Amino acid sequence: MIKGGPKKDLQGKQIQSILISQPKPETEKSPYFDLAKKFNVKLDFFPFIKVEGLPAKEFRKQKIDIPGYTAVIFTSRNSVDHFFRICEEMKIKVSQDCKYFCITEAVALYLQKFILYRKRKVFFGADGSTKGVLEVMNKHKDNEKFLFPSSDSQKKDIEEWLKANKCEYATATLYKTVSTDVKEVLGATSYDMIVFFSPSGVKSLFENVPGFVQNGTHIGAFGPTTSAAVEEAGLRLDVKAPQPQAPSMVAALEQYLTSLGKK
């Protein structure tokens, strides 16, 4: 495995700088910093979006009785945070019998911040995909009343499945994603690669730089919906995660940089 030195792409352009469209890791032990040292690349972190919680006053207008639901569907840590935030603000006590269906094991484990974690009431998809969690939900769909906490820009695939399977459910909009101002960041440095983690991040890029032209900029995307958003925007997708041999974005970047170094 090649170490050190900027890696070249097929056209000979060097990848020396990568912009990660997320907040900088709080710990220096993050694998991102190991990646930067290993390949001698400059890594910058800057979130392209921010999440704003809907106030309880606004949520009440949706007329959703949270205690009336027997199961909650979580697709992200944000949805977990804002569900329990709203419950706290409205002084709602969630039943200990409530079931939780999570898109990944990581989201399921995150629930430990808020509940006594018991496997018989916390479920998650095997592969981290929407299809995976829907397969788990399918076994329970006849006995549960589902609540789906989401953002204002949530993909509709889970709602469509619930509707198609005649499930009793409600979608609760608890937070919204807002584009951050990244014009200064993008203007200060010409990055060789930009890595996205949500469709909203891709949207933010074009809101900040309407005339963005990819040219030789490499693009990475984490998650199927993010990958789809990159391609729908007419961009070339160079690094896609998760993959069987690259479950994380760091692993996918490592494979990509290594492959470029071998050219």
Q: Where are the domains of the chain?
A: 17-48+180-261, 52-177
Strands 168-179 and 49-53: antiparallel
pLDDT of residue 13: 55
Bigger pLDDT: 234 vs 129: 234
Do the domains 52-177 and 17-48+180-261 match in fold? yes
* Token pair for 146: 């589902």
Architecture of the domain made up of 52-177: 3-Layer(aba) Sandwich (3.40)
Pairwise CA distance, residues 235 & 227, whole Å: 10
Whole-model pTM over 0.75: no
Least confident of 25-34, 117-126, 247-256: 117-126
Q: What is the pLDDT of the chain when averaged over all its residues?
A: 89
Single-letter code of the amino acid located at 70: T
Structure tokens at 150: 């989401």
Query: 146 forms bridges with which residues in the sheet?
Result: 71, 169
What CATH class is the domain 17-48+180-261? alpha beta
Cα separation, 217 vs 60, in Å, equals: 45
